[in-house]
Structure 1
Amino acid sequence: MTDQRDESIQHEGPAGGWGSLKGIGEVFARELSTPAVLETLMRQNKAGGYMCSSCAWGKPTHPHTFEFCENGAKATLWDLTRDRCTPEFFARHTVTELLGWPDYELEMQGRLTAPMRYDSATDCYVACSWEEAFTGIARELNVLDPRSVVFYASGKASLETSYLYALLARMYGCNNLPDSSNMCHETTSVGLKKVIGSPVGTCVMEDFEHCDAIFYFGQNPGTNSPRFLHPLQEAVKRGCRIIVFNPVREQGLVRFINPQNPLQMLTGDATELAHMYLQVKPGGDIAALTGLAKRVLEADDTARAAGKADVLDRDFIEQHTHGFEAFVETARNTGWDEIERVSGLARADLEAAADVYVEAKNVIGVYGMGLTQHVHGSQSIGMLVNLMLMRGNIGRQGAGMSPVRGHSNVQGQRTVGISEKPELVPLDKLAAMFDFEPPRDKGLTTVDACEGICDGTVKGFVSLGGNFVRAIPDRDVMEPAWREQALTVYIATRLNRSHLVHGKASYLLPCLVRAEEDMQASGPQAVSIEDSFSHIYGSVGKRKPADEHLLSELAIVTGIAKATLPAHPKWRWDEWTADYGIVRDLIAETYPHDFHDFNARMFQPGGFYRGNPAHERIWKTDSGKAEFTNPSVMSALGIGDAPGRYHLITMRSNDQFNTTIYGHSDRLRGLEGSREILLINPAEMERAGLKEGDVVSLVGDAGDGVVREVKGLKVTPFNLPDGCLGGYYPEMNALVPLWYHDEASKTPASKGVPVRIRR
C-alpha cells in the first residue's frame, strides 16, 4: 500500500543490487586504491577490525562476510586513495583561485601530506614543520580570551581523541565545544531528554528482530545508512510492517535487493519494504502523528464499549507516564480538517496507518533529520514519543525510539565530554583528576559560534575534522565574517572549502585516517567509537599511512595542548600520546558506569553496551516519569504557507556523505550529472509556468530583509508534495537563515526553508 502520487516521474529501481556494486567499483577505480584496501574492507565493522568512518549504524555480533555497505566502502576507498595533495599543489594555486573550484574537485586532489600555514603575502598555504605549526597556534591562542575561541568537532574523531580535545578546551578556559550534532541531531539530545530522560535512542540492534511494526519518519537508509536495509529486509520477511512518513519517496524504503543474497542478485527479485509510504508535507509530522493518536484513542473507545481488551496500555501509562490526560484532550479536540491540511495526508491513510500501530504488539519509532530539522522539531519528537507511550512501546524488547545518527562517532563524542553544556560533564571529577578549575559557564552552540563570528566576539576557531563553513547556514553572510578571525586551525585528511575561508593566521594540519596504522611510542594503537545504539567498539588500522609526516588526530591535539598550556605534573600529554590505553583508563575513571573495564571490553563482538536508563524504564525526567507533551502547533515549520512561497528540503545524494561528494550520480533518485538542480512536482511546475530544463534561481523568503539567493538551478520534475521543493545540501545552505532553527536545540531548520522561485 503506497501513497497515491504519480510514481512515473521518479526512478523506481531498488536500493542495493548491482547498482550498489557498480557505485563501489567506480570509486575504487577513480581513487586508484591499492589491492590492500580489500583486506580493510574484509575487516570492516568486525570485532578486532576496522570500524567504518562513515555512519554510526551498529556492528552486529555475528557479522556478514561483507559487513560494509556502498557508502561505507566509498568512505574507506576515499580515505585510502593513492592521490596526494602535496605542498607543491598549494604552491601552484592561490587560495583565491581554489575558492572558485567545486567541492568535488577540491577533495579529488587526495590526501593532505604536510602541515601548512597560510601566507598572506602569496595568498597560498605553505609547508611548515609540526613544531612551527604548534608554536604558531599556541602563540595566537595565548593572546586571545579563551571565551572567544571555539573548539569544534566533526563527529568522526575517536573517543580517545574526543576526550583529550574536550580536556584541552577546558584547560585552556572555555566550554565552547559544539560538534556536528548541533547541525544535525541535537534536537534528539534535547527533545528526547526532556520527555524520556535519555538524550539518545532506547533501542538496541536486537530489538529489530522482535518488532511487529516500524513507524519511520524523515530518514533515508538507502543513502545515509545502507546497512540498516538488512534488518529492515529481515523484519519485513517475518511479517513486520513498515509505515513511512517522508516528503521524498526514497527507494531505500521502497525496494531493496540484498547484494549478499545471490538469488536476489541473479533474479532481480527485490524485497518490497514499505507497507505504506505517506508523503507528508514538510513540517507536517506533528499533524500526522496527532491523526494517528486520534485514531488510536477512537480504537480504544470502540474496544472498551464492546467489552474488549483495552487498546491503550493503561497500566504502563499510570505507572510510567505523566501528562496523559492533557494530551488526550488536545488530540480529541484537533479536527481532521486541520490534520489533513497541515500534513497533506488523507484521513483514510492516517487511519489505516494507525490501525497497523494498534494491531502490532511491538513497535519501533525510527527517525532522522526530516523529523527534527524544523523550528518545532523538538515538538515533533515529543509527538512521536506520545504515540509510542500510548501502548507502552518504550522500554521493552522489540519496541522503542531509534533515531539514526550520521557521523560514525558523533554520539560518542558527546558521551566523553564534547559538549557546550557544562551540566552534562562531570566537571568536579575532572577538576579532581587533573588539578585545575574547569570553566562553569555555558559554551557556544554551532549557531552561537556563527553569531559570535558575525559580531566579532569569536576570534578563533579550531576544527577537529569536518567542513564547518560549508555545512552551516547563511553561507554568503558567514564567509566574509569568517575571515576577520585572528586564528583558524583545521585538522583534516583532504582539502575542502572551509580550509580556504581562513582567519588572519591559519593552519592546515593533516592527520591519519582510521584505517591507517597509528604507531606510537608503545607500539600500534587502537581507537574506539560509539554507535547509535550506545555500543562501544575498538578499531585497529593496518594500512600504511599516506605520508610519513602525518600525525594521528590524538597526537595533533596533544601537540597543540603541550605548546599552549603550562606544564603540569598531572597533564601527561606525552604519556597519553604514547599509549591510548592510558586515555581509555582516564575515560573509565571519569565515566565509571559507562566505561568500567574499558580496555578489557573494547573488542567484544557486537561492542559493549554502556546502557540507557529509558531502555530499562528508568525515567531521568523532572517528574521521574515519561512525559506526554502537548504540541503548541500542528506544523513544525517556523514560517507557514503563503501565495508563491515554497518550502525547500535540503537533501544528500546517493554519491555523498555529509559534505563529501564522491561523484555526481544520485542513482536511487534517477538523477545524474549536475547538482545544480531544483526538484519540483509537475503540477507545481505547471502552476508556476515552468518547463523541465528551465534555469531559475531560488531566493529566500524569511522576511528578515536579508537577500539570499542560489542561481543557476535546472528545473527537474520529481515526486514531491505540493508546496515542496528539493535541492542538494550543502549547495542550498545559503538559503537557510542562521536564526531559523529548532527553538529548543538551535539545530538549523534545513528541512522546511521558506523560498520563492525567480526566473
Structure 2
Amino acid sequence: MSKQRSDKPRIKPFKGPAGGWGSVRSLAEILPRERIRPEVLGELLRQNKPDGFMCTSCAWPKPADHHPAEFCEEGAKATAWELTSYRTTPEFFEKHTLTALRGWKDYDLEQQGRLTHPLRYDPATDKYAACSWEEAFDAIGDALRPLDPKSVVFYASGRASLETSYMYALMARMYGNQNLPDSSNMCHESTSVGLKAAIGVPVGTTRLEDFELCDAIFFFGQNVGSNSPRMLHDLRAARKRGVEIITFNPLKERGLERFTDPQNPIEMVTLGETAISTQYHQVRAGGDIAAMTGIAKFLLEWDDAARAAGDPPVLDHAFIAQHTHDFDVFATAVRAAEWDEIEREAGLAKSALEEAARVYAKSKAVLGIYGMGLTQHVKGVDNVRMVVNLLLLRGNIGRPGAGPTPVRGHSNVQGQRTVGITEKTELAPVAKLKELYGFDPPTEKGLNTVESCRGIIDGSVKAFVGLGGNFLRAVPETGPMEEAWPRLEISVQIATKLNRNHLFPGKAGYLLPCLGRIEEDLQASGPQAVSIEDSTSCIHGSRGKAKPASPHLLSEPRIVAEIAKRITPPNPSVDWDGWVGTYARVRDAIEATYPEPFKDFNKKLFTPGGFWKGNKASERIWLTPSGKAEFFAPTTLSATGFADAANRFRLLTLRSNDQFNTTIYGYHDRFRGVRGTRDVLFVNAADMAEAGLHEGQIVALESDAGDNIHRRLGGLIVTPYDIPRGCLGAYYPEANVLIPVGHHAEESFVPAAKSVPVRICP
C-alpha cells in the first residue's frame, strides 16, 4: 500500500483558493516524498527560464519577463517526479511478474522510480530481464523489418522534443508508413481540424502579450487550476486591470473562481485572493454549442434593433463582409434556434446567456480560451467552430488582444505536429522530404489513435513503437485493448518510468529507458539542447543539467537513430549518427524542411520568451478554399452525439490536481476535497435523491452506449457535488474502461471522454 493511499478516504469540501498555502504545502509534501537531493532543488529555479529547461508538464507559454520562481505546483511535481531518487532496477523485475504487477495502482507503479537499464520481456518467466542496448536494437530491427510497414504503429507522446519528433517522423516515413498517432489525437485534434477549416490554420492565433490587451475573456471547458496553473498569473493580472472573465464549465473549478498568488508576499501573509471569473455558467456537459448559439442569437437581435433605430451596430459588418464567408447561412440557423431548446441543451437560463452576451457586445478585444471540455465530444469540431463563429461576429480574430486560444496539454504536443508527427499527408512536407532525402515518402493516410486501437483489437496492427506516454492507459476501450495487446508481434516502449502499458508486452517486448528533459545530455560534440513549442506557437530552447538517473540511459534522439538505422534503407542524405552527435544539425534539417517558420532556428533557439513561428490567420490572411474565414452553421445544439434517456447520464472524465494526464502524483484532489482515493463518483444531489442513492454508497457505472458491449467500472464512492443535473464526474484514466472506441469526435476522431453515456448500478 502506498504512502499516499488512506484506509479511510476522506471527502469534504475544500474552502481555500487555488495557489496560496495549499500549493506550498503540496510541494512541501512531494519533494521529500521523492527524496529530492538538496542540489536538485536548484533545478526548480532553472525551470521555464532562458537557458534553463522547459517544464515537462503543460504547454503554457514561458514569459520573457519571468518570475523569480517560474513554476507552478503541477510543474514542480513533474520536476520532482523526474528527478526522484527512487530507481526501478532489474532487481525489481526479478521479484515481480508482469501479471502480478497488473494488480498495482498507476501511482504505485511510477512511484518505484526511474528505469535504469534496457529490458527485454521473457515470456517463460513473465518478467523483464536486463539486456544490452545492442541486443535490444538488433532484435527490434529483426522483428520490424519483415513486417508490412502498414501494420506497424509509431506513437509519440507530447513530451518528446522537436528534434526527436522530426527524426521519429522521418524514420516512420522512410520505413514506409504514416501511422503516426500522437497525444493530439486524444485531446486537441478537434482544434486542428476545426480551426484549419474555419480560419486556415490548425492552431490558436494569440500570444501571451494578448492577455495584456484584451478587455474580456470567454473561457470554455478548461480547468486552469489543475492543468495549467501558471496561466493563473495572466488571468489575475487581467482581472486586476478590469478584464471580465466569463466562464462556461460544468463543474465549479477553484482556479476559475479564486486565486492567491504564491509569489506575492502580501497576498500570502494577508490570505488575500483575486476573484477570477466575473460570471460562472455551469453548462451541461455537451451544452456549449447551445450556450454559444444563445449568445449569438442575442447579438443578432440587438444588431437588428440597433440598425433599425439608426444606432451603432453590434456586429462588425465591415469585417464580416471583407473577411468572412457564409455569415448569412450561420445567421439563419441561429435565428431559427428556439429558446426552449437552447435552455434545455445548455442547462442555462436565457437570462444567464443574455448576461454573458452583454459583456461580449460591449468588449472590443476578446480572447476565446478553451480546452478539452470542448474538444472531447462527438461534436467536438463543431464546438471549436462555434468559438470561431462567436469571435468572427465582432472581428475578434487578427486584432491585438483577441482570438481563439486553445490550451494544449503536453509541453510539445503542438510542436510534434509542426515537425511532421501526423497521419495526414496534407499536413506532411512530402515533397520537401523527397527533395532533401531522395526517397518517396508514403502518401497513403496513416492510422490515428482510434484507428490504431481498432487495428490492435482486430489484429491488423502487428507492432507498436511508443515514444513515451502510457498509450494503453490513455485510450478508450480499456478491456478489449488490454486483451488484444499481447497478440502484437512486438511492442517497444521508450520511457523514463514504469507504467501500466509496459505490463502488457507483445510476443516480444522491449522497454528502453531514456534521459529526461531535465538531465544533462552529453553527445559527441558536448552537452546538447533541445527545443519545445508552446500553446501559442512560440519555440523555446531547453537545456538539461541534472545528473542522469543512470549511466545506462540513452537520449531519445539516440534511441530513435539506432532503431532507424536498423529498419530503414541506407540513405547517404540522412546522417543519423551525425544528428545524434550534434542536435544543432537536426535543427538545420528542420529549418531546411520548414524554412519559413524555422528561419535561423539555431540562432534564435534561446530567445527569451521564445520565438514565434508566425500565424497567417493572426494577419487576417485566411488559407481556406474561399480565401476567407468560414462561418459554420451547427446542425445540432448538443455535442454529446447521443440522446437523453431515462436513467442515462453524461459522464465527464476528470483529472485531479494530483495528476498530469495519466501520471498520478498521489491520491489527493485538494480542490474537490478528496483525500486518499480516486474511486469517486461526483453526482448532483437532486439526481442522488431521485435515484435513491446516499452519500458514501458504493456503486458501479455501466456503459449505456447501446452497442451490447458490457463495460463496467465498480467500487465508486457516491459523492454529492455541484455538477449539472444529468451529469456525472469520475477520474481519468480509470473511467476510460467505459468509453467505446467508436465514441469519438466526428472528423477528428478524438475520444469523446467529456460526455460518455452511462447508467448507475447500485
Query: If the length of structure 2 is used for normalisation, what is the TM-score?
Result: 0.98
Match of 1:519 in 2: 522
Match of 1:414 in 2: 417
* Post-superposition offset of 1:368: 0.3
Match of 1:58 in 2: 61
- 1:499 and 2:506 matched: no
Match of 1:350 in 2: 353
- 1:462 and 2:465 matched: yes
The CA distance in 2 between the partners of 1:662 and 1:295, in whole Å, is 45
Native 8 Å contact 2:376 2:754 kept in 1: yes
Match of 2:219 in 1: 216
- 1:619 and 2:622 matched: yes
Match of 1:539 in 2: 542
* Post-superposition offset of 1:9: 8.1
Match of 2:596, SS state, is helix
Native 8 Å contact 1:58 1:531 kept in 2: yes
- 1:117 and 2:108 matched: no
Q: Which amino acid aligns with 1:553?
A: E
Runs of 4+ in structure 1 deviating by more than 6 angstroms, as ranges, are: none
The CA distance in 1 between the partners of 2:608 and 2:455, in whole Å, is 44
Q: Deviations over 1:74-93 (max 9, x none)?
A: 00010000000000000110
Q: Which amino acid aligns with 1:113?
A: T
The CA distance in 2 between the partners of 1:567 and 1:644, in whole Å, is 60
Match of 1:293 in 2: 296
The CA distance in 1 between the partners of 2:568 and 2:182, in whole Å, is 23
The CA distance in 2 between the partners of 1:12 and 1:229, in whole Å, is 18
Match of 1:667 in 2: 670
Match of 1:240 in 2: 243
* Post-superposition offset of 1:307: 2.1
Match of 1:5 in 2: none
Match of 2:87 in 1: 84
Match of 1:175, SS state, is coil
Match of 2:551 in 1: 548
* Post-superposition offset of 1:10: 4.5
The CA distance in 2 between the partners of 1:103 and 1:181, in whole Å, is 22
Match of 2:531, SS state, is strand
Q: Deviations over 1:552-599 (max 9, x none)?
A: 111100011112223322221111110000000000000000101100
- 1:225 and 2:231 matched: no
Q: Deviations over 1:414-465 (max 9, x none)?
A: 0000000011111111112112111110000000001111111100000000
Partner residue of 2:134 out of 107, 126, 131: 131
Q: Which amino acid aligns with 2:525?
A: S
The CA distance in 1 between the partners of 2:305 and 2:236, in whole Å, is 34
Match of 2:312, SS state, is coil
Native 8 Å contact 1:10 1:718 kept in 2: no
Match of 1:592 in 2: 595
Match of 1:698 in 2: 701
Match of 2:8 in 1: none
* Post-superposition offset of 1:305: 2.8
Q: Which amino acid aligns with 2:480?
A: V
Q: Deviations over 1:651-684 (max 9, x none)?
A: 0000000000001110011111110111001111
The CA distance in 2 between the partners of 1:381 and 1:482, in whole Å, is 33
The CA distance in 2 between the partners of 1:196 and 1:26, in whole Å, is 45
- Aligned-residue CA RMSD in angstroms? 0.9
Partner residue of 2:309 out of 296, 306, 309: 306
Match of 1:429 in 2: 432
* Post-superposition offset of 1:713: 0.6
Native 8 Å contact 2:12 2:674 kept in 1: no
Q: Which amino acid aligns with 2:482?
A: E
Q: Deviations over 1:707-749 (max 9, x none)?
A: 0000111101111000000000000000000000001100000
Match of 1:472 in 2: 475
Native 8 Å contact 2:684 2:725 kept in 1: yes
- 1:368 and 2:368 matched: no
The CA distance in 2 between the partners of 1:303 and 1:672, in whole Å, is 54
Q: Which amino acid aligns with 2:499?
A: N
Partner residue of 1:566 out of 563, 569, 575: 569
Native 8 Å contact 1:12 1:251 kept in 2: no
Match of 1:264 in 2: 267
Match of 1:193 in 2: 196
Q: Which amino acid aligns with 2:33?
A: R
Q: Which amino acid aligns with 1:651?
A: L
The CA distance in 1 between the partners of 2:505 and 2:714, in whole Å, is 25
The CA distance in 1 between the partners of 2:385 and 2:580, in whole Å, is 43
* Post-superposition offset of 1:21: 1.1
Q: Which amino acid aligns with 1:157?
A: A
Gaps spanning 5+ residues in structure 2: where?
1-10
Q: Which amino acid aligns with 2:49?
A: K
Q: Which amino acid aligns with 2:264?
A: N
Match of 1:605 in 2: 608
The CA distance in 1 between the partners of 2:313 and 2:360, in whole Å, is 14
* Post-superposition offset of 1:13: 2.0
Match of 1:316 in 2: 319
* Post-superposition offset of 1:179: 0.2
Gaps spanning 5+ residues in structure 1: where?
1-7
- 1:378 and 2:381 matched: yes
Query: If the length of structure 1 is used for normalisation, what is the TM-score?
Result: 0.98
Partner residue of 1:654 out of 651, 654, 657: 657
Q: Which amino acid aligns with 1:565?
A: T
* Post-superposition offset of 1:36: 2.1
Match of 2:19 in 1: 16
Native 8 Å contact 1:9 1:719 kept in 2: no
Match of 1:226, SS state, is coil
Q: Which amino acid aligns with 1:639?
A: F
Partner residue of 1:338 out of 341, 344, 351: 341
Match of 1:676 in 2: 679
Native 8 Å contact 1:10 1:719 kept in 2: no
Cα 1:277–1:9, aligned 2, differ >3 Å: closer, same or farther?
farther
Q: Deviations over 1:20-66 (max 9, x none)?
A: 11111211011001112222111111111111111000000110001
The CA distance in 2 between the partners of 1:150 and 1:673, in whole Å, is 37
Native 8 Å contact 2:588 2:601 kept in 1: yes
Match of 2:750 in 1: 747
Counting matched residue pairs gives: 752
Give runs of aligned pairs for residues 701-740 of structure 1, distance below 5 A: 701-740=704-743
Native 8 Å contact 1:280 1:344 kept in 2: yes
The CA distance in 1 between the partners of 2:639 and 2:380, in whole Å, is 6
Q: Which amino acid aligns with 2:413?
A: V
* Post-superposition offset of 1:196: 0.6
Q: Percent identity over the alignment?
A: 61
The CA distance in 1 between the partners of 2:570 and 2:614, in whole Å, is 37
- 1:206 and 2:209 matched: yes
The CA distance in 2 between the partners of 1:566 and 1:615, in whole Å, is 42
The CA distance in 2 between the partners of 1:626 and 1:673, in whole Å, is 49
Q: Deviations over 1:272-310 (max 9, x none)?
A: 011110000010000000000011112212322332211
The CA distance in 2 between the partners of 1:441 and 1:692, in whole Å, is 53
